[in-house]
Structure 1
């Protein structure tokens, strides 16, 4: 997730049958303001594109670029929608998604961005984006939003997968699709969960969301298997650990671990109860959990146990990454750089 942007609260980040989006992007948007302290505003996602190239996104259309992880420059962005996720396939080609079902793209390493999609009415946020190459991408979000592209985002198709509905709802939806197509379309947005995060694990694509939703695809999202629910709260991230386990994190400090590719899950007890927004690892085998109220936890045993490294200011941490002896975090008060003790 997941990211309806409310500072300090990570439920921060909150359908119709398949159709091709033929409409031109809405031209009523306004360019994001260039702000001198944009790196201290609410930021929601960060990516290491290459060795020393980093991109972060956040509120009011802010996109920040850095070539060293310390100094950040705000990019020129043509809209002011809150942005929730960013992904690059190489140093030149990237996409960012956010509120108003907005999709932005760059072909020059983030120096300039173009609007590929913008639907402000109603405001249904996109929460994550992933591309397997320059042409094939997926963007997902609240109320079951699911878009795909096969041409680099020049056109986006919105899709619905009956297999992503809860088992109790499938029969009802199939009957409604046959008897009342109009009602069927209107029901989708209320029945499908929020899709909060995508995670690519080799040839398998995972997706997690609200109400314990977890699904995986072996064909890059053309078909899905909804997995058995093991928790009835929202899940906001999924990550493969260095020792090949899976960790899922979500509301109220809930952490779950699987050693069999998601067939069964065991809860991991931690000392914090704040909502967890993301999980990431480093090359040394450490696993980190980041969340609300400054929560930052570290595991040296592949996610079996965690120690507390939380930030004293209590500001929500949305995501992060580790670079040798530094950690870059995106938070509700902007980018934080933490110096890590190499001896730890």
Structure 2
């Protein structure tokens, strides 16, 4: 995996923002690219080859497969059909993730702070949010936090002042950053999305972005102060495993919520590199994965971790729970790893063209058992007929 040059932001040098689309494209950024307003306003163009373009994520409902990717491409395949159709999408920015709560209701997120929704199973999409609105929201939120902290300092006792002054410094930094992002335009991407039901959900993204909605995305509330993430580490993935929610983030950062995101606990990390995702089965087994083939397994909801010997140096971008005994991880160079619930790699191979893979799901056969892997990434969607037994 190629490292990216440091991103300069608000006179701050951050760790490299290592995300799949940048790594795959081999693009080196020294500054955040300013958003092009027309990409937020123009619809994605129809293409005969959309299913073969860079597709970042793939989801499955009862009646469809839906994949999202570059230039606002969203493609879907109806159950029982081999044909991929292209959806109508109101933006042409790169889309990074999608999530469906049922057969009809879904959301997609992407670059330039875009959040989309569908109520017809992914055939037509509406824009709910973009980075311009996000920037205004974050400025307003930061200024309110500053004001409330200043008021608290005025009446605080001596034993509270140190903590409040530290909070004041953090929120001032937050506001300064928010104004800097606003000057640059709609530059921050969302990287993942999760919904509890048709109304309540979260979107997470770069530089610590996390927003919550309780009305299906019509309005959003910044959730920044709920996480101990004052460094603004990139929040790469949000996943429900069992009854709990987990966030995998930059610089070895992991969070868990036991109340569907109302509050969050920082987990002690087993390493300092970035996590790109986390998978698991009913809280019995968690696997967090990320840079240079690093993967770790936990049996106690992320309190303790054991390193998995993946025997690969390819960064791992996506994962999927096949069943309670087996998981699959995918990543750079077309890497595909099947891992059992003891943390052992039981099968390791690469996709046909050895191109980076960002997402993986399984197709279920008539007997109810997984029959094929469906992967997405550079080159679009591929199917792999053999799923390792477990």
Normalised by the length of structure 2, the TM-score is 0.73
Q: What is the CA distance between 1:10 and its match in structure 2?
A: 9.8
Query: Could you say if the C-alpha distance between residues 9 and 213 of structure 1 is closer, same or farther in structure 2, counting changes exceeding 3 Å?
Result: farther
Alignment of 1:160-239 (within 5 A): 160-161=224-225, 163-165=227-229, 191-239=231-279
1:241–1:247 contact (8 Å) kept in structure 2: no
Q: What is the CA distance between 1:90 and its match in structure 2?
A: 1.0
Q: Which of 66, 73, 79 is equivalent to 2:85? A: 73
Q: Could you say which residue in structure 1 is the equivalent of 2:385?
A: 339
Runs of 4+ in 1 over 6 A off after TM superposition: 9-12, 341-344
Q: What is the CA distance between 1:6 and its match in structure 2?
A: 2.4
Alignment of 1:310-321 (within 5 A): 310-321=350-361
Distance 1:284 1:206 in 2: 18
Query: Could you say if the C-alpha distance between residues 231 and 11 of structure 1 is closer, same or farther in structure 2, counting changes exceeding 3 Å?
Result: farther
1:241–1:302 contact (8 Å) kept in structure 2: no
Query: Could you say if the C-alpha distance between residues 302 and 287 of structure 1 is closer, same or farther in structure 2, counting changes exceeding 3 Å?
Result: farther
Q: What is the CA distance between 1:243 and its match in structure 2?
A: 8.8
SS in 2 for 1:95: strand
**Structure 1 regions of 5+ residues with no counterpart?**
13-24, 166-187
Alignment of 1:178-327 (within 5 A): 191-241=231-281, 244-283=284-323, 285-300=325-340, 302-323=342-363, 324-327=370-373
Q: What is the CA distance between 1:4 and its match in structure 2?
A: 6.1
Deviation string 1:159-207 (CA, Å, 9 cap, x unpaired) is 2126422xxxxxxxxxxxxxxxxxxxxxx5xx21000000112331110
Q: Normalized per residue, which structure has more helix?
A: 2
SS in 2 for 1:79: coil
Distance 2:105 2:353 in 1: 36
SS in 2 for 1:161: helix
Alignment of 1:83-94 (within 5 A): 83-94=95-106
Normalised by the length of structure 1, the TM-score is 0.83
Q: Could you say which residue in structure 1 is the equivalent of 2:73?
A: 62
Aligned CA RMSD, in angstroms, stands at 2.5
Distance 1:342 1:266 in 2: 23
Q: Could you say which residue in structure 2 is the equivalent of 1:34?
A: 46
Distance 1:223 1:11 in 2: 36
Deviation string 1:98-118 (CA, Å, 9 cap, x unpaired) is 001100011111121110001
Deviation string 1:247-298 (CA, Å, 9 cap, x unpaired) is 0100000010111111111101122101001121224833211000110111
Distance 2:353 2:69 in 1: 20
Query: Could you say if the C-alpha distance between residues 237 and 125 of structure 1 is closer, same or farther in structure 2, counting changes exceeding 3 Å?
Result: same
1:236–1:276 contact (8 Å) kept in structure 2: yes
Alignment of 1:87-102 (within 5 A): 87-102=99-114
Q: What is the CA distance between 1:303 and its match in structure 2?
A: 3.0
Q: Could you say which residue in structure 1 is the equivalent of 2:188?
A: 124
Q: Could you say which residue in structure 1 is the equivalent of 2:118?
A: 106
Higher relative contact order (CA 8 A, sep 6+): 1
**Structure 2 regions of 5+ residues with no counterpart?**
1-16, 29-36, 133-184, 364-369
SS in 2 for 1:299: strand
* Rg comparison, structure with higher value: 2
Distance 2:254 2:283 in 1: 21
1:258–1:265 contact (8 Å) kept in structure 2: yes
1:49–1:88 contact (8 Å) kept in structure 2: yes
2:242–2:281 contact (8 Å) kept in structure 1: no
